[in-house]
Amino acid sequence: MAHRLLRDAEADGWERSDFPIICESCLGDNPYVRMTRAQYDKECKICQRPFTVFRWRPGRDARYKKTEICQTCCKLKNVCQVCLLDLEYGLPVQVRDTALSISSHDTIPKSDVNREYFAEEHDRKARAGLDYESSYGKVRPNDTILKLQRTTPYYKRNRAHVCSFYIRGECTRGAECPYRHEMPVTGELSQQNIKDRYYGVNDPVALKLLNKAGEMPSLEPPEDESIRTLYVGGLDARVSEQDLKDNFYAHGEIESIRMVLQRACAFVTYTTREGAEKAAEELSNKLVIKGLRLKLMWGRPQAPKPETEGSEVARQQTAVAHSGLLPRAVISQQQSQMQGPGSQDHGPAMHYYNTLPPPQPERTFYPSMDPQRMGAIVPSQEGSSSGPSGSSENRPPSEQQQQGQHYAYPAMAPPHGQYYSHYYPPYGYMMPPPPYQQYQLPNQSTVPPLHPPPATQQYQQHPVQSGSTPSSSAPVPPPAPPSSSGSTPGGSAPPVSS
């Protein structure tokens, strides 16, 4: 039998479409989707005109979703047809409009005939090819919106609805009930109205989000003026040093970037304090690299402070201090050992750099007292000269070392720091860059490159650890004789026994 249309669809101006305009979350995680299309199946929830309803299941554990508003209404506000959230940012209309200071609030009529007329006019214009001034593509995203936007799809909203019989205790369907058997979350957020959400008026979710945005903490610079390092957390394998560099170079000259993949974090050190502050100001809460929202905080000085705030903070400090290589037990031990400047201080502090502590001859209390620690290649008195010369050659690492050293030993002389720059970058378990190895090779015969103190075996395990990175581990052999336990690659430090 011929399928006869009762009315001429074109004449009525009812909407026909071929594919829904929906966001990623509503489409689901499954790349294979079966969708039914029903022309003029339902009326749009906003403008009440018949439109094409698409229905599909966005994933295995999802309920069936269908388009709720017509494409005309959806294009007017640039929202998803199902969830009515912005297509680009995933935010409610009210949030997006406030953040971007758009106000199409008055242009779309809300009542009866006005609304229908407006919708049809708009539809006709769109079909005729006139580009409606869809300003949504042209608006530049500002900070607030970048802070608030959703970066990954959120599939929890595709779950089945809560079983209303279960709430009353009357669900007789039991195991085959397709609805969720949970108690619903009630509260102010539950009273939502699709028209309010669409027009961006009086939307509780939007209000909550805006409040939260207003209160988002800004990153104040720490009191210690010498800190020029920013801690970047939440890293992933996708984010490379180059990405960080690209993001951070704009605010100031980067002295160094140290990535600690074990802790999913990185430390970006600027040459100037102003650069770091500028970066913090601009990027805090807005740092999104490759879709991954990263946390930005100030790096903490590595001088062990008794942190009472909480394990998270302490852990972070640990991360900052040790790049995740030493267990907290070690740190706390070091913290407890922290005394005035002295070899004792010096020794545990060495852990922070994962360097071998300098040898501790009987009378020398400062590293600068010990020529070997000043960079002596041969156990002669080259030390102090090679120190400064080395520093002039290697300005950046020495500066970073200097700064890093500054973290740990406020009392220490800079040349000492420069010495360490040759061998171990601060925060780092990374291998010292190859040029430095020249220093080490001749050292091997005479003094193990890291000058392990004969009495302290524990320290020797650090170069072992750092030397465990496969590439350049050769020139830094584990100091043979005193090193006792085998090196555990990858940073699990054997407990320091002193």
Q: Is 182 exposed, middle or buried (0-12, 13-18, 19+ CB in 10 A)?
A: exposed
User: Of 2 and 113, which CB lies nearer to another protein in the complex structure?
Assistant: 2
Q: How many CB atoms lie within 10 A of CB 363?
A: 8
Closest separation in Å from C-beta 31 to another protein: 17
- 343-353 helix and 311-322 helix, angle to the nearest 10 degrees: 90
User: Of 62 and 100, which CB lies nearer to another protein in the complex structure?
Assistant: 62
Q: Under the criterion CB under 8 A, does residue 1 sit at the interface with another protein?
A: no
Instruction: Give the Cα-Cα-Cα angle 459, 463, 465 (nearest 5 degrees).
Output: 105
Site for another protein in 300-319 (CB under 8 A): none
* Ramachandran sector of residue 202 (left: φ over 0; alpha: ψ -120 to 50; beta: rest): left
Of 151, 152, 163, 153, residue with least CA distance to 63: 163
Q: Under the criterion CB under 8 A, does residue 176 sit at the interface with another protein?
A: yes
- The H or E element spanning position 65 is strand 65-66
User: Of 139 and 177, which CB lies nearer to another protein in the complex structure?
Assistant: 177
Which amino acid is present at 48?
Q
Closest separation in Å from C-beta 176 to another protein: 5
User: Of 173 and 245, which CB lies nearer to another protein in the complex structure?
Assistant: 173
**Cα-atom radius of gyration of the chain, to the nearest Å?**
32
Provide the mask over 11-50, with x wherever binding to another protein is found by CB under 8 A and - wherever it is not.
-----------------------x-x--------------
Neighbouring-strand partners of residue 162: 180
Closest separation in Å from C-beta 186 to another protein: 26
Is the four-CA dihedral 267, 270, 272, 274 of positive or negative sign?
A: negative
User: Of 64 and 117, which CB lies nearer to another protein in the complex structure?
Assistant: 64
How far apart, in whole angstroms, are the C-alpha atoms of residue 442 and residue 147?
A: 53
Q: Under the criterion CB under 8 A, does residue 172 sit at the interface with another protein?
A: yes
Q: Under the criterion CB under 8 A, does residue 60 sit at the interface with another protein?
A: yes
User: Of 59 and 233, which CB lies nearer to another protein in the complex structure?
Assistant: 59
State the residue for tokens 């040459």.
271
Closest separation in Å from C-beta 271 to another protein: 58
How far apart, in whole angstroms, are the C-alpha atoms of residue 69 and residue 482?
A: 75
Q: Under the criterion CB under 8 A, does residue 164 sit at the interface with another protein?
A: no
Closest separation in Å from C-beta 172 to another protein: 8
Closest separation in Å from C-beta 175 to another protein: 4
How far apart, in whole angstroms, are the C-alpha atoms of residue 356 and residue 422?
A: 12
Closest separation in Å from C-beta 9 to another protein: 23
User: Of 155 and 365, which CB lies nearer to another protein in the complex structure?
Assistant: 155
User: Of 6 and 175, which CB lies nearer to another protein in the complex structure?
Assistant: 175
Of 494, 151, 90, residue with least CA distance to 329: 494
Q: What are phi and psi of 74, to 5 degrees?
A: -70, -35
Q: Under the criterion CB under 8 A, does residue 363 sit at the interface with another protein?
A: no
Q: Under the criterion CB under 8 A, does residue 175 sit at the interface with another protein?
A: yes
Closest separation in Å from C-beta 51 to another protein: 19
How far apart, in whole angstroms, are the C-alpha atoms of residue 124 and residue 13?
A: 8
Which amino acid is present at 426?
P
User: Of 38 and 130, which CB lies nearer to another protein in the complex structure?
Assistant: 38
CA dihedral 405, 408, 412, 418 (to 10 degrees): -20
User: Of 176 and 223, which CB lies nearer to another protein in the complex structure?
Assistant: 176
User: Of 28 and 428, which CB lies nearer to another protein in the complex structure?
Assistant: 28
Identify which range of 66-74, 166-174, 233-241, 460-468 contacts another protein by CB under 8 A: 166-174
Cα–Cα distances (Å) from 323 to 40, 176, 261, 353, in that order, read: 61, 51, 9, 9
Q: Would you call 273 helix, strand, or coil by DSSP?
A: helix
Identify which range of 14-22, 174-182, 209-217, 344-352 contacts another protein by CB under 8 A: 174-182
Closest separation in Å from C-beta 32 to another protein: 12
Identify which range of 171-179, 192-200, 372-380, 442-450 contacts another protein by CB under 8 A: 171-179
Closest separation in Å from C-beta 184 to another protein: 21
Do the beta carbons of residue 274 and residue 252 sit within 8 Å?
A: yes
Residues at the site binding another protein, with contacts judged by CB under 8 A: 34, 36, 60, 172-176
